[in-house]
Amino acid sequence: MRFYSLDKLINLHDSYRKVFKIDQYNLILLQVDGERYLLESTCPHRGHPISESDIVGSSLRCSLHGYQFDIASGDLIAATEEPCRGLKTYELIYQGTEVGVVL
């Protein structure tokens, strides 16, 4: 396990979205209403990019079939077809002026 820096804190702002590929991990870092979230970057339903999702209240709505996931927990909260698992979430780690993840 080691720390991977994702970005400098000064670069983060509301509506920030950036995807990262680190080894086998595909991640998306988002900031919404001052809160930061790190989740897997592909929809667990059929693999659509989460970066294209809409923010609906406190959820992400995948733009392909409209499944909705709680942005904080990753839990599936609405599905239009067969259910799928939730989005994986990752803890953000702050080190000095940077934010990152331990993988």
Establish if 59 lies at the interface with ligand FES (CB under 6 A).
Answer: no
17 or 65: CB nearest ligand FES: 65
Work out which of 6, 62, 87, 99 binds ligand FES, going by CB under 6 A.
Answer: 62
Establish if 69 lies at the interface with ligand FES (CB under 6 A).
Answer: no
Establish if 65 lies at the interface with ligand FES (CB under 6 A).
Answer: yes
- For residue 46, the minimal CB distance to ligand FES (Å) is 4
d(CA 99, CA 31): 12
Contact predicate 57/69, CB 8 Å:
no
d(CA 101, CA 31): 15
Query: How many separate helices (H) and strands (E) can be counted in the chain?
Result: 0, 11
45 or 100: CB nearest ligand FES: 45
d(CA 44, CA 68): 11
Q: Which of the 8 DSSP states describes residue 42?
A: B
- For residue 7, the minimal CB distance to ligand FES (Å) is 25
Tell me which residues touch ligand FES (CB under 6 A): 43, 45-46, 48, 62, 64-65, 67
